[in-house]
Amino acid sequence: MTPSRTTLRAAIGTVSAAVLATTVLAGAPAASGAAAHTDRTAAATGSAVKFVDITGDGGVTLKANVFTPAGADGTRRFPVIVLPTSWAMPQIEYMAQAKKLADAGYVVIGYNVRGFWQSGGKIETAGPQDIADASKVIDWALAHTPADPQKVGMGGVSYGAGISLLASAQDRRIKAVAALSGWADLIGSIYSGRTQHLQAGAMLGAAGALTGRPSAELQGVLKDFLGSNLAKEKDMIAWGRKRSPATYLDKINANGAAVMLGNAWGDSLFPPNQYADFFEKLKGPKRLEFRPGDHATAEATGLFGLPNDTWTSTKRWFDHYLKGADNGIDRESPVQLKSRSTGAYEGYRSWQDVPSAHRSIPLGGTHRTATNLDSGADGGLIFLSSMLDQFLKAPPMASIPLLPRSLAAVWQSDRYAAQQHIRGTARLHTTLTSTAESGTAIAYLYDVGPLGVGKLVTHAPFTFHGKAPNRPFGVDLDLFSTAYDVPAGHRLAVVVDTVDPLYIAHNPHGAALTFSSPAADPSYMSVPVRD
């Protein structure tokens, strides 16, 4: 007999709970068992954990675990931190960090967001009901734990990060936020350059279907998104903006929560650009941290209780802005970058201060490329490629001399006499002529060694619709932000082709793209560097 999806969810939940919980607590109940019983308590060293049901918006049951500091005898109140789970993750996701925080004097509530695992309701994708749920959890904490109503924090990874930022716009009680591997602009993340991020969208849809109950609205959006239904594009964009913290920036600034943002350079779901743009517009206390890796990999070891820089910063952030600890985090450079090449940290006063200069690579001549055939240049695979870069410094590679010029436009810089410290966002400017009214191209920047092997520095896609065939138009494209060092003696190569497994392309059969550099408007790649 083939097991049902519900049975599979329960089985996965049990295994996940057993693996994670045994790294955190001796004798803590597994997730599936814990979710089936209310108010079970397990003893922990120094702190105590209780598994509870919390009533969310509209009466939906949210499965949660509550850590209470040792010595909480009702005579004093403690700062409280609320941690919504990541997309498709069980409720025990944060138990290792929750225990550490509770041992340090916090009440900590981790809860499974609606629609996933044993929590009720449907997946609303950080919609209004999810934000109302966050406030309901805070209400519950203030009524049932020794939580201090003046010292409320929220945080989380991925989905939990997005919900925390959105909640900070609607609930003035939230004084501090740590949003790790999240999004500020949902459309700018998975539809950047007006291009569907195929692997990202498909993965999110599949994970949601396996571990939760997608709402009819989410199913419709995913169908239109992956099916390239342009008739629904405006509706899809409106749906995404409603779920983007950037839409509520004025409210977030007015409420004044201290916001820490953390992300990875190679995040396959939420590229770093959109976080950097959001950070610059925040008015209150703020911090931005970028590290090598892919989606949530910078925080992953901390979920198992292992030493982790991101979680260390998170605790310091909460300690200062909820407890008032004078730990110096407010006096440090608010932008902290970890280089993909050296692994060293660098501090800056703002995102705009990251590059000190720009190197321009001329994109001269005229290059005509056929479409719908892969040249061999691509951005790799979600999760795998950026993890290889994170741990082995092995990003996607291509032999630049062997790339077929009929399928890819290629330009190269001169060899650099000195090391080039790329920091920030590279920008492409070119003139494009298409034989069709729609099309897609992907721009790549490679570090090319003496043998012609290019290591991917960064890339980004762009798509156009409604253009007059055979009439040139300008293209300006921001590539995904990064921190990468090009060795002395190497070149940079700019490659533009029309096929990448990460994205959905919109090139009609038989179409061709021509890249040119008019004298009155020369084409170039602007590369940000730190001298």
Both tokens assigned to 491: 């070149």
What pLDDT does 449 receive? 98
Helix axes 95-103, 5-21, angle to 10 degrees: 40
Contact 21, 304 (CB under 8 A): no
Q: Largest Cα–Cα distance in the chain? A: 77
Contact 378, 441 (CB under 8 A): no
pTM summary value: 0.91
CA distances (Å), origin 151, targets 53, 73, 140, 144, 230: 23, 19, 15, 16, 46
Cα–Cα dist 493/488, whole Å: 15
**What is the separation of C-alpha 64 from the centre of its chain, rounded to a whole number of angstroms?**
24
* The Cα angle at residue 44 between residues 39 and 45, in degrees rounded to 5: 155
**What is the separation of C-alpha 181 from the centre of its chain, rounded to a whole number of angstroms?**
4
CB atoms within 10 A of CB 412: 17
What pLDDT does 22 receive? 34
What pLDDT does 73 receive? 85
CB atoms within 10 A of CB 309: 17
Give the closest residue to 53 by CA, choosing from 40, 67, 72: 40
Q: What is the DSSP letter of 413?
A: P
38: Cβ contacts below 8 Å, ≥ 6 apart: 51, 52, 53
What pLDDT does 425 receive? 98
pLDDT tens digits for the chain (531 residues)? 333 444 344 434 433 443 344 334 333 333 333 333 333 333 334 789 999 999 999 999 999 999 999 988 888 999 999 999 999 999 999 999 999 999 999 999 999 999 999 999 999 999 999 999 999 999 999 999 999 999 999 999 999 999 999 999 999 999 999 999 999 999 999 999 999 999 999 999 999 999 999 999 999 999 999 999 999 999 999 999 999 999 999 999 999 999 999 999 999 999 999 999 999 999 999 999 999 999 999 999 999 999 999 999 999 999 999 999 999 999 999 999 999 999 999 999 999 999 999 999 999 999 999 999 999 999 999 999 999 999 999 999 999 999 999 999 999 999 999 999 999 999 999 999 999 999 999 999 999 999 999 999 999 999 999 999 999 999 999 999 999 999 999 999 999 999 999 999 999 999 999 999 999 999 999 999 998
Give the closest residue to 185 by CA, choosing from 270, 293, 255, 126: 270
Contact 238, 353 (CB under 8 A): no
How many helices (H) and strands (E) in the chain?
A: 14, 24
Helix (H) or strand (E) segment spanning residue 41: strand 40-43
Cα–Cα dist 251/162, whole Å: 15
Contact 50, 106 (CB under 8 A): no
Give the closest residue to 53 by CA, choosing from 43, 66, 42, 44: 66
What pLDDT does 11 receive? 39
The DSSP bridge pattern shows strands 78-84 and 147-157 to be parallel
What pLDDT does 74 receive? 85
Is 253 buried (19+), middle (13-18) or exposed (0-12) by CB count in 10 A? Answer: middle
What pLDDT does 242 receive? 98
